[in-house]
């Protein structure tokens, strides 16, 4: 079977909407029933959907090319020529992209605070009220935005169900992308923040992994555990700045194999971090980490080194740069 990026987008675009319905529903039920186990499960769903939403958004550009049969321009920007099929609306595609970009932001922020809630639950045996309320509110907004994006996306190819009024206003994703690409200082600033985030993330992960593998015996586990939110903050900074780069020159990345390898390693590393959050085999002072914890540590090192390697290879592999 020939599985293209367009097929992948059609498969993945159901997850943000349905996933957030499930995650938010379970979270509300958990709050009503007072079930900590159900609350944990709902938070895991929200974090998982946040990870899946990243490739969902990125593969949308392949769907745009397939529907319109018009490639991006030589500068790496979005295509601007009308779609060859008159039934396909270029305006709706751009509106869908703009709402999807906004949805991506809310989904990632929600996933970040959901992970923070999981960390607070493990470390303090409770989730502060402020974070519970924040996750609930962000989940509602995220679900509303992904539902809107899904609604517009369904109308792109089907004029018989089209109810959205086409707007001539430049969509959010294009406004952000043009600003990043055309303003001299923005790309450099985003690159700086990207490397600061990477330093936070890899620095904390490296210290924890070395401790789990038997090095750094003088550093207590509790000290390293308190540093975990800084690693997640770094991950969040990298996701946000990475999406800014993508919005500025999407077709520059979508034609580069190194970009998809980097994305695969990022998703694997995110899953590794989620598993690591629940692992209790590394946090008992004075006892060597369990074998499964050491496997997680080695895997994390491999995945994050892979992320840095493929990110560095972006200008040297393919012809997009």
| pLDDT at residue 77 in the model | 47
How does DSSP classify residue 75?
Answer: T
- Based on the fold, state whether residues 8 and 126 are members of the same structural domain: yes
- Based on the fold, state whether residues 147 and 191 are members of the same structural domain: no
How does DSSP classify residue 297?
Answer: H
**Would you give the distance in Å from CA 138 to the centre of its chain?**
15
Q: Is 140 part of any domain?
A: yes
Kindly state the average pLDDT of the residues 95-107. Answer: 89
- Based on the fold, state whether residues 234 and 314 are members of the same structural domain: yes
Q: Is 177 part of any domain?
A: no
> For 16-54, how does the pLDDT look when each residue is reduced to its tens digit (9 = 90+)?
899 989 999 999 999 999 999 999 999 999 999 999 999
Read off the tokens for 168.
């001539």
**Would you give the distance in Å from CA 241 to the centre of its chain?**
11
Could you tell me which of 267, 257, 240 has the C-alpha nearest to residue 314?
257
| pLDDT at residue 73 in the model | 45
**Is a pLDDT exceeding 70 seen at residue 165?**
no
Provide the domain limits for residue 287.
183-321
- Collapsed DSSP state (helix, strand, coil) of residue 310: helix
| % of the chain at pLDDT higher than 70 | 86
**Is a pLDDT exceeding 70 seen at residue 74?**
no
| pLDDT at residue 1 in the model | 47
> For 246-294, how does the pLDDT look when each residue is reduced to its tens digit (9 = 90+)?
888 877 787 788 888 998 999 999 888 888 888 877 777 777 888 888 8
Q: Read off φ and ψ for residue 85, nearest 5 degrees.
A: -90, 115
- Based on the fold, state whether residues 229 and 290 are members of the same structural domain: yes
Burial class of residue 271 (count of CB atoms within 10 Å of its CB; 0-12, 13-18, 19+): middle
Q: How many beta carbons lie within 10 A of that of residue 245, not counting itself?
A: 19
pLDDT band at 223 (very low <50, low <70, confident <90, very high): confident
Read off the tokens for 211.
């401790």
- Based on the fold, state whether residues 138 and 5 are members of the same structural domain: yes
Q: Is 267 part of any domain?
A: yes
Query: Which of 168, 195, 223 marks a domain boundary?
Result: 168
Q: How many beta carbons lie within 10 A of that of residue 52, not counting itself?
A: 16
- Based on the fold, state whether residues 158 and 238 are members of the same structural domain: no
CA distance 80 to 75: 12
Query: Which of 168, 193, 220 marks a domain boundary?
Result: 168
- Based on the fold, state whether residues 119 and 196 are members of the same structural domain: no
- Based on the fold, state whether residues 224 and 129 are members of the same structural domain: no
**Would you give the distance in Å from CA 256 to the centre of its chain?**
19
Q: Is 176 part of any domain?
A: no
Q: Count up the domains in the chain and report the number.
A: 2
**Is a pLDDT exceeding 50 seen at residue 76?**
no
| pLDDT at residue 196 in the model | 94
Residue in the structure block whose two tokens are 């308190």: 226
| pLDDT at residue 48 in the model | 92
- Collapsed DSSP state (helix, strand, coil) of residue 198: helix
Q: Is 175 part of any domain?
A: no
Q: Is 178 part of any domain?
A: no
Q: Is 120 part of any domain?
A: yes
- Based on the fold, state whether residues 141 and 198 are members of the same structural domain: no
Read off the tokens for 129.
């009220």
Contacts of 306 (CB under 8 A, 6+ apart): 261, 262, 265, 268, 269
Using an 8 Å Cβ cutoff, are 110 and 46 in contact?
yes
- Based on the fold, state whether residues 154 and 199 are members of the same structural domain: no
Measured CA to CA in angstroms, residue 222 lies from 84, 111, 137, 163, 228 at distances of 60, 24, 31, 55, 10
**Is a pLDDT exceeding 80 seen at residue 166?**
no
Could you tell me which of 321, 214, 235, 215 has the C-alpha nearest to residue 277?
235
- Based on the fold, state whether residues 24 and 163 are members of the same structural domain: yes
Radius of gyration of the chain (CA): 21
CA distance 123 to 271: 19
> For 114-135, how does the pLDDT look when each residue is reduced to its tens digit (9 = 90+)?
999 999 988 888 899 999 999 9
Query: Which of 119, 138, 168 marks a domain boundary?
Result: 168
pLDDT band at 87 (very low <50, low <70, confident <90, very high): low
Could you tell me which of 163, 161, 186, 165 has the C-alpha nearest to residue 175?
186
- Based on the fold, state whether residues 157 and 130 are members of the same structural domain: yes
Contacts of 207 (CB under 8 A, 6+ apart): 216, 219, 224, 227
Q: Is 173 part of any domain?
A: no
**Is a pLDDT exceeding 60 seen at residue 320?**
no
Contacts of 169 (CB under 8 A, 6+ apart): none
């Amino acid at each position: 079977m020939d599985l293209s990026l367009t097929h992948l987008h059609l498969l993945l675009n159901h997850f943000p909407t349905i996933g957030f319905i499930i995650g938010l529903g379970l979270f509300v039920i958990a709050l009503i029933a007072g079930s900590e186990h159900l609350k944990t499960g709902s938070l895991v769903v929200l974090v998982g959907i946040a990870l899946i939403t990243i490739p969902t958004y990125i593969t949308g550009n392949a769907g745009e090319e397939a529907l319109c049969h018009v490639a991006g321009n030589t500068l790496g920007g979005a295509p601007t020529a009308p779609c060859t099929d008159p039934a396909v609306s270029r305006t709706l595609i751009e509106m869908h992209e703009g709402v999807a970009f906004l949805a991506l932001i809310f989904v990632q922020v929600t996933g970040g605070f959901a992970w923070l809630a999981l960390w607070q639950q493990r470390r303090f045996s409770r989730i502060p009220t402020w974070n519970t309320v924040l996750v609930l509110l962000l989940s509602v907004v995220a679900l509303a935005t992904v539902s809107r994006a899904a609604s517009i996306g369904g109308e792109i190819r089907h004029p018989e169900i089209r109810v959205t009024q086409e707007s001539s206003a430049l969509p959010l994703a294009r406004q952000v992308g043009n600003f990043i690409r055309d303003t001299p200082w923005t790309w450099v600033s985003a690159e700086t923040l990207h490397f600061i985030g990477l330093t936070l993330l890899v620095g904390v992960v490296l210290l924890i992994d070395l401790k789990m593998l038997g090095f750094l015996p003088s550093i207590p586990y509790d000290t390293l555990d308190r540093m975990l939110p800084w690693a997640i903050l770094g991950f969040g900074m990298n996701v946000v700045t990475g999406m800014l780069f993508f919005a500025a020159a999407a077709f520059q990345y979508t034609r580069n194999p190194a970009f998809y390898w980097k994305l695969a390693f990022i998703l694997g590393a995110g899953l590794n971090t989620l598993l690591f959050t629940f692992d209790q085999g590394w946090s008992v002072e004075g006892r060597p980490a369990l074998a499964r914890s050491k496997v997680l540590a080695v895997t994390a090192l491999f995945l994050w080194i892979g992320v840095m390697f493929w990110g560095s290879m972006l200008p040297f592999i393919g012809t997009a740069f």
